Chain A
């Protein structure tokens, strides 16, 4: 669909598809994992057919999530390399949270927070993968000490990642005009200018563009 021709393309169709595959798997793995983590979330087992089905399916959700996230990371990692400006942005993130983002350091396609989130999620996914394999009794048999350690690592890393994703989702709700980038790929020029000035200049060929 061609909508406003002035809009800027932020994500291609395949970017969006892989992101949503990761997102769906994260929600499924998250809900099924929470059900096995704390009895308060036990009712989530009803979403997956039964409690036993929840136990059977959870590792597969995680596996598909890991593989698709690694595929996504392969696409995006170069855009997420941290530089000095990103760290300066992160040091001043309080100003933005406080409601004024007009004096924030100029950002490329991703700001420091998005980049840091990317690396934390990548690191967390790898930890979840390895700890998950160790506690996956349907297929693997590890030594008891390793299983105990992996159980703690798996739960702790998953809780941190759920927290990170909650921040990720809230940021997209808070910053108006953001979610459409992941629905149909484009953002308005004004959105780009306000939140990612360097990327905006680069997209419009305005010169004076910072490294992204």
Chain B
């Protein structure tokens, strides 16, 4: 995972002036210091997660009595067995998957369509519509909870997949519109004009030119949104009540037993299980995801 793209300090071998030579030593000390500091910060950042994983392999007595930093005295998979007995992890993962897929389809398709209308087709009020979408980026999601709760109960949407998918997609839409339209800017006008001369209408151009060209942006949008949707707690917690529809974040709460007593080692095992799908995707595609995050915000 060593980068080739990040520009290292350019080779200054061409007639190094004395002043540069003198400075060469200082950066070395500086670099060692930075390296130590960065290692420390990364350890603080990552250790809690490693600890979480280790704890899921500990025996219960070991966890209750031992030094939290000690390595487990013996490894056990028993916590995982108990985790699967206590909760319906498979169900939760499936639900999270359905919600994430559903919301992502809406976000990508609608985001692309709106961006196409605003950026490529163009119309008189396009600046106004763009401004409308900006509101959704600034406004906190909590504003929608009470109104949506009331609206859902009048149209019988409470406790459904849609009740989670609609607001998740709605609040993610502005960013998606924004990313797609900044990508569409780079598609040369001539491509469209040529296609128009050949008699292609706006629908064919969308399907044959715009859509295939934006696959990279689709990957970015899906990855970034999946993190937030997979882990969404607030909408699920507000709109979903029945066990069968609970997504992962809600399912994890089931591990808090009566009287707030928690079976910690089993809970951590459950956390490890539920984190795995997203973590795998993240580790496999992290380059695309990191690029997406970087480009998404720096263009703003």
Is A bound to B? Answer: no
| Chain A positions near chain B (C-beta within 8 angstroms) | none
| Chain B positions near chain A (C-beta within 8 angstroms) | none
